[in-house]
């Protein structure tokens, strides 16, 4: 019984490397990008990650033998070198390691528990230089233990009575410093001009210049007045992010009392708080908007941290209705293929494996509601055809500067965006090629819509063409047969 002699043996020899293992339908599978330390071979590194994210410690323990330890050990079963890394390239050799975990390793319905294993200790492990969680396959059996989005795209649209076009939003600017009365002015103007939603920014909570109750009161005056003026359901994402759950519940209850259709939270409140708010939102018939504040601290760099697609998966399970997921054309990070992978993950019932889009596994979403992606950050009316081409119609397009910075005022800014949106959707449905004809379609609408004319003139040269840092690493033919 060498395996259980006291002492230190390689993880590979402890049962965490099983190249013949065939994952069960009920296994959770994680795909890690591993950069091993010099002299650590890929399989040992993968086995170490499997071990440290499941049952192992650094040395042999006899108490394993009191358990069904072979079941509980995670199994690294496949290691592929990452294309374009290693000798002759600018980065150290990296590997994609596939690791399977038995379902019984995880508490039902708990993102906190899932993440405590998968991204718990293992990221600080000395035998690896860097580690990134690229993707996960969540079994249907596990997904069925999660509530999923409190409202979902279908019911959100039915409640708002808005179909067949992207929703339009804007974030109030300046994001800090406005008094509640002045803040509500921005909300009213933007909603009356044609937006569906206005939004608090991630760091608007309850500061000396504007306490939360004042903001909620003035925003709801603006929302209701705009709703009466237009006959449309309107909303403002009231950010209820706060220091404690008690504070957040208090703010959310006040938003509900005032008749808001939606509340908002930030990713930085943590997974458990997000799940709590999702349950609260389902119970109280409010839509739950999540701002991904903080994600780029760990999601942007390719060699270490975790991919945003994993956050998308966890947030769909945790139960948010809206999630910021990139614009492709705006000011924030976003390769078109990566963003398609995020959007599909949020919106589809089933996402097939697509290495091009960064999706390593087939994923059945087990009828969890669809999450509405939000595109925000440096976008304007002149890009409307590109936005709809890349993002489709089930998305909230948020033009903050592109509404509030309009030379003719906020209402005009909102109207320009709404006219551009409706003109492009009409043309798309008529079968026109919006990718190529988009600029002409917008020009034609600008002939009778002065606000759109001004928007196109003001922002015509604004583009953000930078190299993406997070892109897919795959060789189409080699990986297909692996």
Residues making contact with another protein (CB under 8 A): 154, 157-158, 161, 163-165, 194, 217, 220-221, 224-225, 227-233, 257-259, 349, 367, 370, 415, 418-419, 422-423, 425-426, 429-431, 445, 448
| Residue 398: exposure state from Cβ atoms within 10 A (0-12, 13-18, ≥19) | buried
SS3 state at 32: strand
The phi, psi pair for 235, rounded to 5°, reads -150, 155
Q: Which is nearer to another protein, 430 or 461 (CB)?
A: 430
In the bound complex, what is the minimum distance in angstroms from residue 263's beta carbon to another protein? 16
**380 catalytically annotated:** no
Q: How far is the CB of 225 from another protein (least distance, A)?
A: 6
Q: Which residues contact 189 (CB under 8 A, 6 or more apart)?
A: 409, 410, 411, 414
Q: Kindly give, in sequence order, each residue whose CB lies less than 8 Å from that of residue 58, ignoring residues fewer than 6 positions away.
A: 8
Closest by CA to 130, choosing from 303, 310, 308, 307, is 303
Nearest alpha-carbon partner for 238 in 246, 228, 221 = 221
Contact (CB, 8 A) for 439 and 457: no
Bridge partners of 32, per DSSP, are: 97, 133
**How many H-runs (helices) and E-runs (strands) does the chain carry?**
18, 15
Q: Closest CB to another protein among 234 and 340?
A: 234
**Long-range pairs of 242-249 with CB within 8 A, sequence gap ≥ 24:** 242/205, 242/206, 242/212, 245/273, 245/276, 248/273, 248/277, 249/280
Spatial distance between the Cα atoms of 42 and 93, rounded to a whole number of angstroms: 9
Q: Which of 291, 292, 293, 211 is nearest to 254 (CA)?
A: 211
Cα distances (angstroms) measured from residue 310 to each of 70, 134, 232, 305, 355: 27, 7, 35, 11, 15
Q: State the minimum distance, in angstroms, from the CB of residue 203 to another protein.
A: 25
**Are 379 and 420 in contact, with CB atoms under 8 Å apart?**
no
Query: Tokens 């300046």 identify what position?
Result: 174
Q: How many CB atoms lie within 10 A of CB 59?
A: 10
Other CB atoms within a 10 A radius of the CB of residue 174 amount to 10
Contacts of 32 (CB under 8 A, 6+ apart): 46, 49, 96, 97, 99, 131, 132, 133, 134
* Nearest approach, Cβ of residue 398 and another protein (Å): 18
C-alpha separations of 7 from 44, 62, 68, 331 in Å: 17, 11, 21, 53
Catalytic residue from among 291, 302, 313, 340: 291
CB-nearer residue toward another protein: 79 or 252 = 252
SS3 426: helix
- What is the Cα–Cα distance from 71 to 212, expressed in whole angstroms? 50
Catalytic residue, chosen from 129, 162, 173, 279, is 173
- 322 classed as catalytic: no
Catalytic site residues? 173, 291
């Amino acid at each position: 019984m060498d395996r259980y002699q006291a002492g230190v043996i390689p993880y590979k020899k402890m049962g965490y490397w099983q190249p013949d293992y065939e994952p069960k339908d009920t296994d959770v599978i994680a795909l890690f990008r591993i950069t091993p330390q010099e002299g650590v071979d890929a399989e040992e590194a993968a086995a170490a990650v499997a071990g440290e994210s499941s049952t192992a410690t650094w040395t042999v323990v006899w108490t394993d033998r009191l358990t069904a330890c072979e079941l509980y050990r995670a199994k690294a079963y496949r290691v592929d070198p990452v294309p374009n890394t290693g000798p002759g390239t600018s980065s150290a050799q990296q590997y994609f390691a596939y690791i399977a975990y038995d379902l019984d390793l995880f508490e039902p319905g708990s993102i906190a528990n899932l993440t405590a294993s998968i991204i718990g200790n293992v990221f600080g492990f000395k035998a690896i230089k860097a580690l990134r969680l690229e993707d996960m396959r969540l079994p249907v059996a596990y997904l069925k233990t999660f509530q999923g989005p409190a409202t979902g795209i279908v019911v959100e649209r039915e409640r708002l009575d808005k179909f067949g076009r992207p929703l339009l939003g804007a974030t109030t600017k300046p994001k800090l410093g406005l008094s509640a009365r002045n803040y509500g002015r921005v909300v009213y103007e933007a909603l009356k001009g044609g937006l569906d939603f206005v939004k608090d920014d991630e760091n608007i909570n309850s500061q000396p210049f504007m306490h939360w109750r004042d903001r909620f009161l003035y925003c709801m005056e603006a929302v209701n007045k705009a709703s009466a003026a237009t006959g449309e359901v309107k909303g403002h994402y009231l950010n209820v992010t706060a220091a404690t759950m008690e504070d957040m519940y208090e703010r959310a209850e006040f938003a509900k009392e005032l008749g808001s259709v939606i509340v908002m939270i930030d990713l930085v409140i943590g997974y458990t708080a997000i799940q709590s708010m999702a349950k609260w939102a389902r119970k109280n018939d409010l839509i739950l908007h999540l701002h991904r504040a903080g994600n780029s601290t760990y999601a942007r760099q390719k060699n270490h941290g975790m991919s945003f697609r994993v956050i998308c998966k966890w947030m769909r399970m945790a139960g948010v209705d809206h999630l910021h997921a990139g614009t492709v054309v705006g000011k924030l990070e976003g390769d078109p293929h990566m963003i398609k992978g995020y959007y599909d993950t949020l919106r589809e019932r089933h996402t097939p494996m697509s290495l091009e889009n960064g999706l390593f596994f087939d994923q059945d979403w087990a009828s969890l509601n669809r999450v509405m992606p939000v595109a925000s950050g440096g976008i304007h009316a002149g890009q409307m055809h590109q936005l709809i081409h890349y993002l489709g119609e089930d998305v909230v397009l948020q033009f903050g500067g592109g509404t509030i910075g309009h030379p003719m005022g906020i209402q005009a800014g909102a109207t320009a965006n709404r006219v551009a949106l409706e003109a492009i959707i009409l043309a798309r449905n008529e079968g026109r090629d919006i990718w190529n004809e988009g600029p002409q379609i917008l020009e034609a609408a600008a002939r009778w819509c002065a606000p759109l004319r001004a928007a196109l003139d003001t922002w015509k040269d604004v583009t953000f063409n930078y190299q993406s840092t997070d892109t897919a690493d795959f060789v189409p033919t080699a990986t297909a047969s692996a």
